[in-house]
């Protein structure tokens, strides 16, 4: 009995230690957030990669033009508690798709502070501070990088449009991987008054784009103007006709009613078109 208790206690302690270590390193033992992949060449630890469709279970360095294809970051196998290597994987690298790991960064967009979102820089596989123009971010910085401490190297970037050069400093900081749409992306939507947004949302029962709301306003205005113009012309012509020929009141009133009904029909069709435009 004592021996079995000792074995059980030892197993529990070992499990807690392994779980705690995995939590600190950002490794999901059950979820498989770190996996081995093949690469066309050896990759530095902290390189942002994407899946390589040209090879089975392969990855390659991500470039800024492939920002939306970011997949994970290469990690040092020595920090992993358990690694399973495969001889079939050429230049095998271990890639993390979640958790907190060291990522190569540059000062291309300025110093990186704790809590800043990071995205791909102009240097393939290297991150930088995310601004308001990048559509996708790789994650959030857990550490800071000012380009003065923990420097790994420097690089010179050349702007193709302005032909200007920029010297950037390279380093490595821990980043919590969370690939998603940039929360700080600059809005390209047209400005829309809040009361119009509320009206559109109440009619459509969902968020409506400003373009649809402005089109709806234009259709409503055209329908109302057309209906009023037809109604005004019908009433005016009826009054003039009655003045010229009082004996034809009945036929004139009948024509006036038809004009009124036609005006209402134009207005209803316009409002229904607006309803469909907002709802669909």
Average pLDDT estimate for 8-26: 38
In this predicted structure, the answer to whether residue 5 has a pLDDT above a threshold of 80 is no
- Looking at domain 32-181, which CATH architecture does it have? Beta Barrel (2.40)
The tokens for 165 are 């050069």
Least confident of 39-48, 132-141, 189-198, 230-239: 189-198
Whether the model clears a pTM of 0.85, i.e. scores above it, the answer is no
Q: In angstroms, what CA-CA distances link 19 with 24, 36, 61, 157, 238? A: 9, 21, 31, 43, 89
**What is the per-residue pLDDT for 72?**
94
Q: What is the mean pLDDT of residues 117-141?
A: 94
CATH 2.40.300.10 in the chain is located at 32-181
Q: What CA–CA distance (Å, rounded) separates 249 from 239?
A: 10
Has residue 219 got a pLDDT over 70?
A: yes
What digits encode the pLDDT tens for the residues 172-206?
999 999 999 888 876 545 556 777 777 777 777 77
More confident: 82 or 107? 107
3 state SS of 151:
strand
How many whole angstroms separate alpha carbon 85 and alpha carbon 91? Answer: 11
Q: Which tokens is 44 given?
A: 């530095």
Quick one: tokens of 204? 């459509």
- Every domain range in the chain assigned CATH 1.20.20: 194-279
Q: Quick check: 255 and 238 in contact, CB under 8 A?
A: yes
Is 117 within 8 Å of 176 (Cβ atoms)?
Answer: no
Confidence of residue 82 (pLDDT cuts 50, 70, 90): low
**194-279: which CATH number, 1.20.20, 1.25.40, 1.10.3470, 1.20.58?**
1.20.20
pLDDT (0 to 100) of residue 204: 76
Residue 121's pLDDT is 95
């Amino acid at each position: 009995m004592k021996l079995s208790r000792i074995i059980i206690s030892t197993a529990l302690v070992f499990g807690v230690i392994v779980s705690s270590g995995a939590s600190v390193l950002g490794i999901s033992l059950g979820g498989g957030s770190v996996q081995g992949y093949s690469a066309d060449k050896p990759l530095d630890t902290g390189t942002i990669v994407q899946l390589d469709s040209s090879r089975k279970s392969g990855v390659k360095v991500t470039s800024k033009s492939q920002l939306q294809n970011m997949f994970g970051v290469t990690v040092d196998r020595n920090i992993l508690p358990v690694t399973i290597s495969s001889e079939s994987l050429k230049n095998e690298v271990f890639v993390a798709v979640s958790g907190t790991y060291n990522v190569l960064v540059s000062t291309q967009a300025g110093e990186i502070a704790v809590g800043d979102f990071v995205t791909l820089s102009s240097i393939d596989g290297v991150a930088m501070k995310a601004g308001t123009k990048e559509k996708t971010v790789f994650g959030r910085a857990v550490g800071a990088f000012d380009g003065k401490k923990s420097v790994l190297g420097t690089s010179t970037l050349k702007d193709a449009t302005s032909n200007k050069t920029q010297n950037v400093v390279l380093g490595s900081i821990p980043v919590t991987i969370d690939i998603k749409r940039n929360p700080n992306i600059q809005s390209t939507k047209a400005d829309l008054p809040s009361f119009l947004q509320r009206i559109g949302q109440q009619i459509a029962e969902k968020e409506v784009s400003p373009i649809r709301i402005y089109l709806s306003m234009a259709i409503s205005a055209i329908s109302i103007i057309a209906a009023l113009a037809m109604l005004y012309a019908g009433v005016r012509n009826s009054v003039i006709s009655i003045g010229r020929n009082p004996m034809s009141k009945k036929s004139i009133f009948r024509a006036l009613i038809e004009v009124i009904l036609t005006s209402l029909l134009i207005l209803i069709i316009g409002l229904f078109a607006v309803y469909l435009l907002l709802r669909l």
